[in-house]
Structures are given as structure tokens and as C-alpha cells.
Chains A and B, each alone.
With several copies, the nearest count.
Chain A
Amino acid sequence: MKKLAIAPALRDGLIEEMRRDKNVFCMGEDISIPGGWGGVFTVTLGLEEEFRDQLIDTPIAEAGSIGLGIGAALAGLRPVLDMQYSDFLFLAMDQIINHAAKLRYMSGGTLSVPLLIRAPVGATGRGAQHAQNMERFFTGVPGLKVLCPATAYDAKGLLKAAIRDDNPVVMFEHKLLYGSKGIGAATGEVDASSEIPDEDFIVPIGKGIIRRPGGDVTIVATLLMMHLALAAARELASQGIEAEVIDPRTLAPFDWPLLEQSVEKTSRLIIVEEGPKTGGWGAEVAASLGERMMECLTAPIQRVASPDIPVPFAPELENAYRPNVRQIIQAAESLVALG
């Protein structure tokens, strides 16, 4: 056991998987330049020596790189693509959605695309084009899996599971949770580090976790928001409201049974999401739970999310963009007040 932040935990995961299976390799911009940074967030730092043969520094060509990744995956390799910032995924949507996600289906099940794309999300003072939460654009795309680890344990475990999975997977990592001192470093007050077992382990894709049990209200959240939800739950407890915090860990597939059990118990649901409220992944959770569990709900499902605006630069505006603990507490109080 050792305590690690997310960036080094991911690094360990890559090391283990690249050792285990020579078909695994990493591709991305600036991931293994000698004297460089090991990617913007240091995840591949120091790997160049042992894995010179399993690291490919690419030109700035996101669509092409992912396209090459798809080809390599179809041919039996297991590429792990580093996206620097998830906002750049918009450049590669065609390759991901029209190709990676569909080729298995289009081939009548004869092919598979074991591709992992790692993409950092979150607003961190960089303005509108390096800040988005992109989960909504991939959740619900048939053929894709979408992961959102909030802790170092999950980051490593899901990374390893994704590398071994035969499907295309997009893993979103939150910049404020890395705990890295990389060139894109952005300090979050949140500690996402975990005790990491020495043995090989994976976190199964599609299994959520109860981060904190409670009987009064269910709060579902991922990534940075999961940590804010926990902070809110602690404050709520001091007011006598026991929130159950559910971290689905993966958005596709989604652990419906876990959430349903929780809501059966609490009969109240809050979804917390970074990113514009309209059309976020939280909409699907609310719609789907509403469809199936309306009769157990004592109050409407609430979504705490960002306003429907591009991510602004100035810290005062960005703070108005990023959902906060106060809002989660208020949502919980108002639900409980409804009876």
C-alpha cells in the first residue's frame, strides 16, 4: 500500500499495463520528449527509458492520432491516447463517434476497437477553450464507454480495466484532482489521493460506489463535484441532514441499480455536474430515474450544474460558473424542506 495522487497512480497503472502486455502503448503530444513534461499533467513522466518502444509522441493532430489509434486497435494493439485537454476532443469527434464507436457494430461484431482516450476536464482559469467538461458529448453514444474517476484508486483501477476492455473508452480526468505539478498544473484544494494496493487490481467498469451513506437525500456526482458533494454532505450532517453520496465512477455504462437502491431509501435525488445544466449527463439521470421511480420520489429531482454559458476567464466569473458546496447544500435543504 502507498498513498498516491491521481497523476502518479495513473502513471503506475500505465507502467503495469505496458509491462503486462506489449500491445499496450501510449500516444499523444509531448508525452515522452526527453527533458519534457510527460504530458501536460506529468502522467507519463519518466517512462521514456523503460518504455521507449511503447510511447509515441505525435504531432498536434488529434483527429489523425485517434484515427491511427483506431487502426492500431483494429489490428490488435491497445493504444492509450493522451488528449492534453478534453476540449480538443471536438477535433476528433468524427473518428471517435463515427468510427471507433461504430466499427464493431458495422462489422457485424467481427471487429473490436480496444482504444482508451484520456482527456482532462474542468475549469481552471484558462478561459473558454481549455475548460470544458465533455462527458455529455460521449455519454449515450452507443459503442462507447465513459469513465470519470474521482480518486487515485479509481483512476488507476479504471485505467487498467479500460486498457483491458475490448471497447473504445473515454476516460475523463479532472485537472484539479491530479495532484501533479505539471506544466498545466492548477491547484485544487481537494485531495484526491488514495491508498493504492501493491497488488494488481482493477475497478470494474459500470460499478458505482457509495462514498458516504445517508438516509435523507441522495447526491450523485463525479470527479471534482463528487468531492464537493462530500464536503456538502459533511456540512449537512451538522444540520442533521444525512446525505448519501453516490459516485457512479463510470457514466456509460451507468450503475443504475446502485442509484435506484439509494433513491428508494432516501426518496430524494440531487445530481451535481460541472458543465452547463442544459443537456448535461445529469439530464439523462434525472429523466431516467424520473421515468422509473417517480412514485418513490417525495420531491422533484434537482440538478446542480453550471449555468448555460461558455467558461469565462476571470476568477470571479469562473467561480460563478463552477458549481459549489453552498449550492449543493441549498438544494439538499430545499428538498428536505419539501417533506
Chain B
Amino acid sequence: MPYSTADLLEFHRRMLLIRKVEERLSQLFLEGTIPGTLHQSLGQEAVAVGVCSALRETDVITSTHRPHGHALAKGVSLPSFIAELLGKSSGCCKGRGGSMHVGDITKGMLPSIAIVGGGIPIATGVALAFKRRREDHVAVSFSGDGSVAEGIFHEAVNMGAIWDLPVLYVIENNRYAASTHYSRNTKLEQLSGLSAAYGIPGVTIDGNDVLEVYETAQTAVERARAGQGPTIIEAMTYRITGHNRRDPCNYMPEDERDQALEQEPVKRFEEVLLRDGHAEASLLAAMQTELESEIEAVIETALAAPAPDPEEAFRYVYAEPVES
């Protein structure tokens, strides 16, 4: 596929945004500014950006306990995203959700779902609605390598398959579910092999190559929009950080980690841009500086924003009754 330099720089900018935001979040967490827990997607940016770049705003994604990359790639606004992590009422979920539940339906992202596998049937149901209404939108379920062992994966993917629903099952295989290597929990070489059970296409791709991810997603999205049903995409990647901010990753062999750091998508893509003459180092540096100061400004505003009023804790439990 021919990409313009502008396209390529945009892929890079999106990945870099996620990278820089997450690096900053990690500091805020360690300082105690972010409450709760924090699951970062450092090293997995190409999956989020590659897939979401193939989507329209009206397409809908579901995500997991590790949703930051997906949220930013799908267009959740940085201010509302950061504010949510800080538990502010200006957050995209008004501070009710937090780091594991960010989302904004106006940008096509449901509140992300922290029960492993829990979002898979929900994305499938969104796709069901699209199909019933004859809309050509697609739904995308992001989930980790750990999610495929859950029964709900099986139930949902099978229904997506038998009804030819417009849905992509993106398995972000970062090798580990918490501390557990995926090879412990399957007899398959690759998790895309699960597609054989559902009679749908399954592909394994280099999830650290943003263009490969983008192109694969595009093909699957076209299939889905054309009424030809779901695709399982296994994107091989690596979590170059802990499962959460408290995890020293001692279960990862050192050479595996080193190799993964070599392969991490942001640096890799940067090298490609430089090598192929799409950008000078100075331009990339400027892009980074710009992003960093944008992020700083957003954090400052978010920090100054009010926390939710405890009196308001009771709101939003029920929708108001509809007049009959």
C-alpha cells in the first residue's frame, strides 16, 4: 500500500502520543497522584493505532483492563481521558470509571471492561445491532492472550461467526497474561488457530509493525462491512513494562525482554521513517516535544479540576423512567 509521508507521520504521532502519555502516567502513579492501579500498554502501541486507524468514529471498540492505548487511538479526548484516571468529574466517565474503565461512546469506545473476556460478547452484540439495523459499522473487541481461555470468548466468537456479524476479534498477544506465558495455556502454536473452531479466518501478524496491523485490520474491516463476518487477528507484541506499576517482571527471561525492547514498535517505526527519508530526526523530536507539552498542559488542567462531589455518588445508577 502506498502511504503518504503525512499518513506515516500520523501513525507515528498517534503511537508517540500513547507512549508519552503512559510514561507520564507511570510517574503520576508512583507519585501517588493516580489512585488505584495502572496497567500500561507500553510496547503495544502499534496494535491500538494500527487497528483504530482502520476504523471510523462510528465504529465501536471494547477494551480491557489495559485500555489506554485503545482509548487514545480511538479518539477519546486526552483531557477527558487524563481526568478520568485522576478521578475527576471532568473525566470521560465522570470519575466513576477510572483507569480500567475509560471510554467515550461519542468517539466509539464503550467504557472499557476489566473482567477478562467480558467485553468480547458485548462487542459482538454491538455488531449484532449494526447488522440488524443494516448499518455498515463494525465493532472491534480488543482482548489479551489470556482472554481466549475464558468460556465467554468461545460463546461470543461462535455467535459472531454463525451470524456473520461485523466484528473483529483482536487478540493482543503480548506473550503474558499477568505473569503467565501464553504457551502454558494452549496446545496451539498461535492463538489465531482458534479460528478453526469457528469456521472464520484467523491470522497472526507482527503486532509491532503498525502498517501490518493497519493493513490486516483494513482487510478484516472490509470483510465485516461487506457482511462476510468476523476475523480473529492475533497481533504478536510484547509488554515492555510490568503487568501493572508494581510488577518487577521477574518471570520474563532477560534475553526475551532485551529482544522485545529491540522490536518495540515506536522506536522501530521511527527508524523506518528516518531510514526511508520520511522525516528528519529534528522533526520527530519536535513532534515529541509538542506532544509532551500538550500532555503537560492537559495534566495541569486535570489536576486543577474538581473531584466528584460525594453527594453525587448516587447519580447514574439508573436511567430515568421513560414515559409510556
Interface residues of chain A, those whose CB is within 8 Å of chain B, are: 25, 29-30, 33-37, 40, 53, 57-61, 63-77, 87-88, 91, 94-95, 98-99, 103-112, 114, 124-130, 142-143, 145, 160-161, 164-167, 182-185, 202, 205, 307-310, 312-317, 319-321
Contacts and interface: CB of A to CB of B under 8 A. Distances in A.
Contact of B156 (A67, A205, A315): A67
Given A74-B122, A104-B319, A316 B307 contact: yes
B132 interface: yes
B279 interface: no
A308 B246 CA distance: 32
B36 A125 contact: yes
A307 B315 CA distance: 11
B223 to A, nearest CB: 20
Contacts of A143: 317-318
Contacts of A205: 321
Contact of A94 (B115, B124, B154): B115
Contacts of B124: 64, 67-68, 71
A74 B122 CA distance: 9
B150 A58 contact: no
A202 to B, nearest CB: 5
A104 B125 contact: no
B122 A99 contact: yes
Nearest to B36: A125
A239 to B, nearest CB: 26
A317 B319 contact: no
A33 B147 CA distance: 18
Task: Give the size range of B's interface with the partner.
Answer: 35 or more
A72 B126 contact: yes
A99 B97 contact: no
Contact of A36 (B116, B125, B151, B250): B250
Interface in B107-131: 110-111, 113-118, 120-130
24 contacts: A30-B180, A33-B179, A57-B180, A59-B146, A64-B151, A64-B152, A67-B156, A71-B128, A72-B126, A74-B125, A76-B133, A104-B319, A105-B96, A108-B94, A111-B105, A127-B98, A127-B101, A130-B100, A166-B319, A166-B322, A312-B96, A313-B93, A316-B95, A317-B95
Nearest to A319: B310
Nearest to A112: B319
B40 interface: no
Interface in B269-324: 307-310, 312-322, 324
Identify the 7 closest CB pairs spanning chains A and B, nearest first: A71-B125, A67-B121, A64-B155, A108-B94, A313-B98, A314-B87, A59-B149
